[in-house]
Amino acid sequence: MRTELPETVNKALSMLHQAGFEAYVVGGCVRDMLMDHSPKDYDLATSAHPQAIQRVFAGFAMTLEGLKHGTVRVILNHEPLEITTFRVDGGYSDGRHPDAVRFTPSLEEDLLRRDFTINAMAYAPETGLIDPFGGRADIAARLIRCVGDPEKRFSEDALRILRGLRFAAVLDFEIHPDTLQAMERLSPKLNLISAERVEAELMKLLTGPAASRSLILGRAALCARMPCLDDAGYEERARALARLPRDADLRLAMLLGGLDEQALSGALTGLKSSRATAGRVQRARAALQKIPVPLENTALRLLIRDVGFAAAADALNLRLAQTGEAAFARALEELQGLRASGACLSLKDMRLDGGALIRSGMAPGPEMGRILNTLLDRVIQGELKNQPEDLLAAALEMARHKIE
């Protein structure tokens, strides 16, 4: 276990200790320390009430928007640190938000409200690891397991179902059978969870090294929230996804691969995907339908001309993951080569534009557009060099033929 804490974290812990309070790092950072990962942030939990936290850190910058959950964010050495009073969550009448939070003097009670054993540990240099629910053993066994009764925990907050699937995917952990069974039974409750939360968890899940297994194990839950995913090709897509680079957008395109254009756009809207993600998934889909057969060099260049490098690469990656055929891997290499060599595959790469044609006496208009596109096709097909003089001569020749 990594036990060294950043200086600011040690400082905050000792300031709280010196003021007579208990204080620990808790949750995800303890899990990461036990796994020898470096935590991306450290959360502190303390017996001090929020007013007391504010007194201890008087003189430091603070933000208080988390105050109703007992969280004070203190800026120490330019780094924000979230310090939260030990608390117990009240009832969950909406299946998502605790109705009220109650502060408690007991660390163990605070750990008890946390979702999974691996996330329910605390650590302080003086006390060492505090692990009342066997989180350390579950990390060693690579197991996601609820703290307490899984059915109760998922009915309090159905987001935990997706968090569990996400941790299993990202950490490459198994899911304890009781936890998995409860995920399935409580999956209808996922309809209470907002699109934003679903999307955020799903996108993290998709980039995990064990994304396929989580998607297959979590099929009932995910399809309860997104029924459009549920068809005969689900498992095959989930498996193919693992053969893609760990890129959430690309993997989402694979997951949604069974949908027609309209359903796809409905699913992306339903998830409130960002415009960048939705656009990329839709362009990849459109490009997929244009992959030429056979996929020889000129055909590849024409595909790139039609859809651009990015969508062509996405489509080839998707097809490669679906079929495993070497032709798609070769085409991807060729595409990278073309991109690196700055090959002329779009009007903006061509060393002649409308302005040059006008300067040489040609009238602007649709005919000029046709000429430019024909020039581009001839360059792509290797009939014409991408050189201003050659291009201009060919353009003037075409214009003359047109007039005659």
Smallest gap from Cβ 147 to Mg ion, in A, equals 17
Nearer to Mg ion, 28 or 70 (CB): 28
Closest CA to 128 of 205, 247, 30, 58: 30
User: Which residue among 22, 23, 24, 28 contacts ligand ATP (CB under 6 A)?
Assistant: 28
CA dist 396 and 382 (Å) reads 19
Indicate the SS3 state at residue 49: coil
Residue nearest to ligand ATP (CB): 28
CA dist 330 and 15 (Å) reads 60
Smallest gap from Cβ 235 to ligand ATP, in A, equals 27
Task: Pick one of ligand ATP, Mg ion, none as the site partner of residue 314 (Cβ within 5 to 8 A by kind).
Answer: none
Residue nearest to Mg ion (CB): 28
Q: Is 98 in the site for ligand ATP (CB under 6 A)?
A: no
The set of long-range contacts for 126-132, using a CB threshold of 8 Å and a minimum separation of 24, is 126/17, 127/24, 129/1, 129/30, 129/34, 130/24, 132/108
And the tokens for 260? 């027609």
User: Which residue among 110, 138, 157, 314 contacts ligand ATP (CB under 6 A)?
Assistant: 157
Q: Is 150 in the site for ligand ATP (CB under 6 A)?
A: no
CB within 8 Å of 319: residues ≥ 6 apart = 288, 291, 325, 328
Smallest gap from Cβ 115 to ligand ATP, in A, equals 4
User: Which residue among 23, 159, 331, 335 contacts ligand ATP (CB under 6 A)?
Assistant: 159
Smallest gap from Cβ 99 to ligand ATP, in A, equals 14
Smallest gap from Cβ 70 to ligand ATP, in A, equals 12
Peptide bond into 294 cis (omega under 30): yes
Q: Find where tokens 């362009």 sit.
A: 283
Question: How far does Cα 96 stand from its chain's mean position?
Answer: 22
Stretch of 113-121, 260-268, 276-284, 388-396 contacting ligand ATP, by CB under 6 A: 113-121
User: Which residue among 12, 16, 23, 27 contacts ligand ATP (CB under 6 A)?
Assistant: 27
Indicate the SS3 state at residue 125: coil
Nearer to ligand ATP, 163 or 285 (CB): 163
And the tokens for 367? 């005919």
Indicate the SS3 state at residue 129: strand
Task: Pick one of ligand ATP, Mg ion, none as the site partner of residue 334 (Cβ within 5 to 8 A by kind).
Answer: none
Touching Mg ion, residues 9-28 (CB under 5 A): 28
Question: How far does Cα 388 stand from its chain's mean position?
Answer: 44
Smallest gap from Cβ 254 to Mg ion, in A, equals 27
Nearer to Mg ion, 28 or 150 (CB): 28
Q: Is 114 in the site for ligand ATP (CB under 6 A)?
A: yes
Size of the chain in residues: 404
For residue 21, how many other CB atoms are within 10 A of its CB?
19
Task: Pick one of ligand ATP, Mg ion, none as the site partner of residue 159 (Cβ within 5 to 8 A by kind).
Answer: ligand ATP
CB within 8 Å of 20: residues ≥ 6 apart = none
- Write out the residues near ligand ATP by the rule CB under 6 A: 27-28, 43, 114-115, 119-120, 157, 159-160, 163
Residues that bind Mg ion (CB under 5 A): 28
